[in-house]
Structure 1
Amino acid sequence: MTIKEIYAGYLFVYFTDDEGQGGGEEIYFALSQGNDPLHWQELNGGKPVLVSQLGEKGVRDPFIIRSPHGDKFFLLGTDLKAHGGGGDWSRAVNEGSRSILIWESQDLIHWSEQRMAQVAPPDAGCVWAPEAFYDADSEQYFVYWASMLGDKEAERDKGRYHRMLVARTKDFVNFSEPEVYIDYGVSVIDTTMIQEGGRIFRFSKKEGLTSVFQETGNSFFDPNFTPIRENIGQEWMKRGEGPIVFKSNEEDKWYLFIDEYGFRGYLPLVTTDLNSGVWTMPAEFSLPTKPRHGSVMPLTCSDYKRLLTHYGRDL
């Protein structure tokens, strides 16, 4: 799993949030055209691959991660049905689910029975966009997400806002007590990250910014992350959230997908230097239809062929 040449493409996991039709809050898959992450083919005929039957019976913000041994995949999601009678955003923020949704698979085709895990403290208003980072030193996953915290009777500027929380797990069944991971005094959501060159590069959405910001630290729990860039992509989009960051399978190039929510959905940006904070938009690309907050994972040759065979499409 450490040799670049074994990777043959990417899997894009996302939801679509078709607000006008009251749907889209399910999990969709798309497969890249080989090792080109700027061109995609929707799998399963563009229909959902996984549908939530638990909690609010809606799943948003799916995140997929491969186990360190490469023999299992974990898929996490936000337990939220925001449309089609699910309630308003005030309810979602202040009285939403405190659990995450979880599926497991050994082959990306057959998935375990869905389960829920309550990870947020009793005073949390929601659990949004859970992601996981594997820590080789402790041989466990750090699962992190955004929760609205603070006195429910207080005004927003009196201490009630989104913090990023984190809990530890080895199996996505048993979780440690949550602790605050990011607290900048204003709402921060949608954190994602990548490890490169012994450093962590972290991307999040912060209240007051129109798009995501980038920072870097020496480790996951470094208390002093250094800012690199704010409002990434503002030259090309009206607003952005739900960042996805991943490295090219073939070269020292990194991709940052930002969700221009309410408009075009995901737009791709590229850099050859993560430290620079300089991102450019490709002149041409073809992403799935209305992709919303999700994740991208590299695929081995066997992963790629298995998905092609199962869904009967030749890209």
Structure 2
Amino acid sequence: MPDEPYAAFLLTYFTGETYPDGEQVRFAVSRGADPLRWDTLAGARPVLTSDLGTGGVRDPFLVRRPSGDGFYLVATDLRIHASQDWMECQRSGSRSLVVWESPDLVTWSEPWLAEVAPPTAGNVWAPEVTWHEESSSYAVYWASMLYPDDDPEHQGDSYNRMLVARTTDFREFTPAEVWADPGHSVIDSTVIEHDGTFYRFSKDEREAPTPGLDGKSVLLERSDDLLSTDWEYVTGAIGMSTDPEVGIRQGEGPTVTKALDRERWYLFIDEYGMRGYVPFETDDLDGGTWTKSADADLPTDPRHGSIVPITASERARLVATYGT
């Protein structure tokens, strides 16, 4: 934890493959402690860019060091703008993360590639990070298609599982292990801890059974053990509705944060191909009921990213450096 109390939030996001520079990292800061109203930084242009690997990054995720005095940002090594071949990116895509390090959110290292998935994997998508207190290391988790050893060209059928590895420096990692495998494709897991329980939101890649919905939605599970492979189901199809005033038609890339002044949680779900991030909220993580937030003012075209609490000094430094 930093020395100062938290007073605002930082949103890291990308804007999508529609734009030539859409697969790079953008920043926005909340207006005070309100996670529903945001000011974009740097004129809504990318703050962090990578030409490593595939030449683009998606799904940026920011994590604060447990000591409170620095940050790591990880992202998917993927630029789909030029090719649009999603299946090929899952058969022979990057098996690495793109990583940046910063002491203060405005001074950033050069990015580096960190290989985390085995050769049997076809991709590394949407990496996220949770500090694992018991092992004094970061648990890093992502989605990968996995192929058998006798299919080195990755031409057979497969589906995405969630994998996990641990690290202390984002350069050396433990061997990846399967973390979630329900027997069908699941991606985009994100985790928040509350009172000793971990809550995991993930994208269920199966088509939605409800007529009128476009498919694929977000589910919630919980566990007392972050690294467990046995999580309890809480609810599914969060926020799904044919009425855009009530919810979304399809969802992925969830990110969740807690209010600074009350027992309330905000879940942002990427209505991909449509509105981008749409926020929902609840006062009870275990209840399974999420309501679409009213009167949100988000950046333009925000896609799968992360929200972290920051101090007033950190917000002022970001605004002074990048401008709103």
Establish whether TM, by shorter chain, passes 0.5: yes
1:37-52 equivalences in 2 (<5 Å): 37-52=35-50
Per-residue deviation, 1:86:
3.8
Per-residue deviation, 1:305:
1.5
Question: Runs (4+) of structure 1 moved beyond 4 Å?
Answer: none
Give the structure 1 partner of residue 16 of structure 2.
Answer: 17
Q: Distance in 2 between matches of 1:150 and 1:198?
A: 35
Give the structure 2 partner of residue 285 of structure 1.
Answer: 296
Change (3 A) 1:14 1:66: same
Give the structure 2 partner of residue 154 of structure 1.
Answer: 156
1:215-226 equivalences in 2 (<5 Å): 215-226=221-232
Q: Distance in 1 between matches of 2:255 and 2:219?
A: 12
Q: Distance in 1 between matches of 2:83 and 2:72?
A: 26
Per-residue deviation, 1:18:
4.5
Q: Distance in 2 between matches of 1:86 and 1:110?
A: 33
Report the secondary structure of 1:232's partner residue. Answer: coil
Give the structure 1 partner of residue 101 of structure 2.
Answer: 104
The answer to whether the 8 A contact 2:179-2:228 is kept is no
Per-residue deviation, 1:286:
0.7
Give the structure 1 partner of residue 218 of structure 2.
Answer: 212
Report the secondary structure of 1:268's partner residue. Answer: strand
1:148-187 equivalences in 2 (<5 Å): 148-151=145-148, 152-155=154-157, 160-187=158-185
Q: Distance in 1 between matches of 2:126 and 2:17?
A: 18
Greater mean alpha carbon deviation, residues 219-228 or residues 131-140:
219-228
Per-residue deviation, 1:88:
1.0
Q: Distance in 1 between matches of 2:282 and 2:306?
A: 18
Per-residue deviation, 1:153:
3.7
Q: Distance in 2 between matches of 1:187 and 1:18?
A: 22
1:24-173 equivalences in 2 (<5 Å): 24-83=22-81, 85-86=82-83, 88-151=85-148, 152-155=154-157, 160-173=158-171
Change (3 A) 1:115 1:2: closer
Give the structure 1 partner of residue 234 of structure 2.
Answer: 228
- What percentage of residue pairs aligned between the two structures are identical? 49
The answer to whether the 8 A contact 2:24-2:57 is kept is yes
Q: Distance in 2 between matches of 1:148 and 1:303?
A: 38
Q: Distance in 1 between matches of 2:293 and 2:181?
A: 34
When the two structures are superposed, what TM-score results if normalisation uses the length of structure 1? 0.94
Give the structure 2 partner of residue 259 of structure 1.
Answer: 270
Q: Distance in 2 between matches of 1:269 and 1:105?
A: 30
Report the secondary structure of 2:12's partner residue. Answer: strand
Q: Distance in 2 between matches of 1:100 and 1:216?
A: 26
Q: Pairwise CA RMSD of aligned residues?
A: 1.4
Per-residue deviation, 1:136:
1.6
When the two structures are superposed, what TM-score results if normalisation uses the length of structure 2? 0.91
Q: Distance in 2 between matches of 1:56 and 1:139?
A: 32
1:235-274 equivalences in 2 (<5 Å): 235=241, 236-274=247-285
The answer to whether the 8 A contact 2:2-2:68 is kept is no
Q: How many residues end up aligned between the 2 structures?
A: 306
Greater mean alpha carbon deviation, residues 249-258 or residues 207-216:
207-216
Q: Distance in 2 between matches of 1:248 and 1:225?
A: 25
Greater mean alpha carbon deviation, residues 201-210 or residues 113-122:
201-210
Deviations 1:274-311 (Å, cap 9, x if unpaired)?
01011111221111100111000000122111112212
Deviations 1:59-114 (Å, cap 9, x if unpaired)?
0000000000011100000000101x245112111110000000000010010011
Q: Read off the aligned partner of 2:255 and give its amino acid letter.
A: I
Give the structure 2 partner of residue 200 of structure 1.
Answer: 198
Q: Distance in 2 between matches of 1:128 and 1:229?
A: 23
Give the structure 1 partner of residue 318 of structure 2.
Answer: 307
Give the structure 2 partner of residue 6 of structure 1.
Answer: 5
Q: Distance in 1 between matches of 2:159 and 2:64?
A: 32
Per-residue deviation, 1:219:
1.2
Q: Read off the aligned partner of 1:272 and give its amino acid letter.
A: D
Q: Read off the aligned partner of 1:181 and give its amino acid letter.
A: W
**Structure 2: any 5+ residue segments left out of the alignment?**
149-153, 209-215, 242-246
Deviations 1:171-208 (Å, cap 9, x if unpaired)?
11111111111111101100001010110100001221
Deviations 1:153-176 (Å, cap 9, x if unpaired)?
433xxxx11011111101111111
Q: Distance in 2 between matches of 1:18 and 1:189?
A: 18
Q: Distance in 2 between matches of 1:234 and 1:50?
A: 33
Q: Distance in 2 between matches of 1:244 and 1:207?
A: 17
Q: Distance in 2 between matches of 1:205 and 1:188?
A: 6
Per-residue deviation, 1:145:
0.4
